[in-house]
Structure 1
Amino acid sequence: MDAAKRVVHLTTVHHPYDPRIYHKECKSLQAAGFDVTLVAKEDPTDSRKNETIKHVKLKSYSNRLKRMIFGTVDAYKKAKQLNADVYHFHDPELLPIGWLLKKKNNVVIYDIHEDYVTSIMQKEYMNKPLKKVISTLYKWMEKLFAKKMELCLAEKYYKDIYPNGKCILNYPTINENILRHQRDIAKVDDSVLYTGNVTHVRGALIHAKIPAIHPSVSVHYVGLCKKSIADEIFTIAKDKQDQIHIQGIDHFVEKEDIEAQYVSRNWLAGIALFPPTEHYMKKELTKFFEYMSAGLPIICSNFPVWKDFIETYDCGIAVDPYNDKEVKEAIEYLRINPDEVKRMGENGKKAVVEKLNWNVEEEKLVKWYKQLLLQH
């Protein structure tokens, strides 16, 4: 490009160092020659130095309603002042802002991280009538405001909902330290790893049962976990509480800290024993690709999409998350078959290196941006 086009990414919900927004999209666009600014909330614990992505900071609100009102207004004012060629926003509550920012000579992109209609219906903090109202309101807002926007889809199946959207899948960045890390299969720990936000719908309480199901095995959670959920986890573990480890109680765990955990010990497996929900049953989890990148076999729920994924890449075992016998047998199979741990791990790593990685998606993202700008 002759002159650097100005790109602004906006979020009022996500952490400023969100893996998809900051580490993948913003950094990739900057490396491709775009002038990138991130408009996101301030992290009071931020100790980073010499970051090259410009960060316009928004005030953080502990109250969700205040964030949706005042945070959104603040984001609009600051984004408008930047007069960008491309505005790329990441939260449903910013749909009206995206609509206001859209002009004839710019591009506005709505990055759809989730199947929001389905995910709203499984929010734990809302009652059922309220969920229906919010879901209906969201569908109305999306139809009204997104007409002149481009849609960026983080997951394959979203294409069924948004046929005109562009899939920029949330595959992992290639971390050479993780790829080069050689696991000593002869010394695999009796430890399983879960990474990412720790919530009920992501299997927090199912994972808490593992030490009781298989007394030799400890569970390590690495990701944001509300203290109330941590308390539930420890309650379920009962006399096995010393085999439960949680890094991230009431605080965000950054990408670098999660990646460090992958090489911190010889994990037996990465786990994702989720309860069946319409949202998660349809999608391929980002943590699958991260486990595979680290050479970890996966133990996950046997949802059809997940089971098909595991079988396609021969990289783990899918089980009924509510069948303790199946869970125990899967864990024991890996414990007594280190060669299988190695084979499944290598299969997963090979798939990530060859095609399930951010490098492939980065090329698509940059090419798409350039095409959109040529049209304006």
Structure 2
Amino acid sequence: MKNIHITLTDFRNESRVLKEIASLESFSIFESYIVIALSSGDLPFEERISSRSVVRRINLISRILPKNGPFQVIKFFEFMLKCIFMVKKEQAQVINIHTIALLPFAWLIKKIFKVKLVYDTHELETEKNGLCGLRKRISKWTEAKFIGSCDLVIVVSELIADWYADTYKIERPLVVKNAPRLRHQDKKDLFREALPILPEQKILLYQGGLTKGRGIHLILDAFKVREENDVVAVFMGYGDLACEVQQTAKNHSNVFYFPAVAPSIVLDYTASADIGISLIENTCLSYYYCLPNKLFEYAMAGLPVIVSDMKEMADTVQRAGFGMVLSEYSNKAINAAVDSLAFCDLGSFSCHAYQFAQANAWERQEKVMLEGYHRMLTR
């Protein structure tokens, strides 16, 4: 059997999909795996992941068209038409999609080629940040119309699974948390080796997407008014706010920017910090119910964390006892939390963090995922 994953990205740092394919491959669920992605000027059209897995990036003729609405629709239809031809050529038996926009076409592929359909959502798709108006109404209609046709639905947190089951009256989706593989992560010092950070300065790390709604401005504003340079903030990632972080770093000696690194080495950099932070803002239900991968990465590196009061993330940190939950997001409150963690004995926090990481490592998530695939394939 063949398994095809379709994504509307250029497949650059897709750690979750890579882990899923590696697990499926390790247990020989399928004979081969193809990821269909969008082409990018700096990435090859075909890239081998392993002996049985390959990424194929589709070059769109319509890419030369402008980026506004109607032309984007033309590009989307060209992409999906080429996906349909590729599914036919490869004779795949299971199709995975990773975004709601692909649901109608995936349904069509399922009907035409009699394949199994896996809807692997990376967040609460119809309630995500920035989705509003007509686009939100179309998304809600699309998901309600087609989710019942999926053979397996996978989500990233318990509250999101409850929401899908309650909203659409479907079988409760499989919860596969976005955690790294279990490892003993030794402390590193990569940030101090690359950046002018003093040995006595503690490092507060934000890693992940540098986009709105992630608390980037909250952290930047708090560090702009810190009077002491005993703690520095390092932002590691990419996104629309990267330039703003870089500009702040030029003007404030306690803020640093570091570009995103490959998933295979990200934990080495995580382990080069002292504290992790995730101030997700309550801008949408998807964020309120989120359980971000950075939380598991911080924990695997033994970092205590400062998190915002988003329901599942806050409950998780409080139950596991490896950090602080902020209910107020003023500069004063953020800096007080930073000081509270930076200058206390972090041993127990670090121990609890790693215990949480062990209990939720990818090896645990992998078992849940594989059981779901076995049930789907034997129906």
Give the TM-score range, shorter chain: 0.7 to 0.9
1:272 matched residue in structure 2: 278
**Aligned-residue RMSD, C-alpha:** 2.6
* Residues 310 and 317, structure 1, Cα contact 8 Å, conserved in 2: yes
2:55 matched residue in structure 1: 55
* Deviation (angstroms), 1:330: 1.4
In the alignment, the residues of structure 2 paired with residue 222 and residue 369 of structure 1 have an alpha-carbon distance, to the nearest angstrom, of: 34
What whole-Å deviation, never above 9, does each CA across 1:290-309 have from its counterpart, x for those lacking one? 10000000011133433322
TM normalised by structure 1 equals 0.83
**Alignment partner of 1:141 is 2:142:** yes
TM normalised by structure 2 equals 0.83
**Alignment partner of 1:30 is 2:25:** yes
2:107 matched residue in structure 1: 99
**Alignment partner of 1:287 is 2:299:** no
SS in 2 for 1:174: coil
**Alignment partner of 1:71 is 2:79:** yes
Letter in 2 for 1:361: Q
Change (3 A) 1:363 1:44: farther
* Residues 206 and 321, structure 1, Cα contact 8 Å, conserved in 2: no
In the alignment, the residues of structure 2 paired with residue 211 and residue 324 of structure 1 have an alpha-carbon distance, to the nearest angstrom, of: 8
Structure 1 residues 173-322: aligned runs within 5 Å = 173-174=180-181, 176=183, 179-182=184-187, 189-214=201-226, 215-216=228-229, 217-226=231-240, 229-234=241-246, 239-240=251-252, 242-248=253-259, 253-263=261-271, 265=272, 267-278=273-284, 279-320=286-327, 322=329
Gaps of 5+ in 1: none
* Deviation (angstroms), 1:91: 1.5
* Deviation (angstroms), 1:44: 4.2
Change (3 A) 1:109 1:310: same
**Alignment partner of 1:18 is 2:14:** yes
Change (3 A) 1:285 1:321: farther
* Residues 176 and 369, structure 2, Cα contact 8 Å, conserved in 1: no
1:352 matched residue in structure 2: 357
Identity %: 20
Gaps of 5+ in 2: 166-170, 190-198
* Deviation (angstroms), 1:238: 7.7
* Deviation (angstroms), 1:30: 0.8
2:366 matched residue in structure 1: 362
* Deviation (angstroms), 1:189: 3.8
1:41 matched residue in structure 2: 38
* Deviation (angstroms), 1:234: 4.9
* Deviation (angstroms), 1:72: 2.5
Letter in 2 for 1:18: E
* Residues 48 and 55, structure 2, Cα contact 8 Å, conserved in 1: no
Letter in 2 for 1:161: W
Letter in 2 for 1:247: F
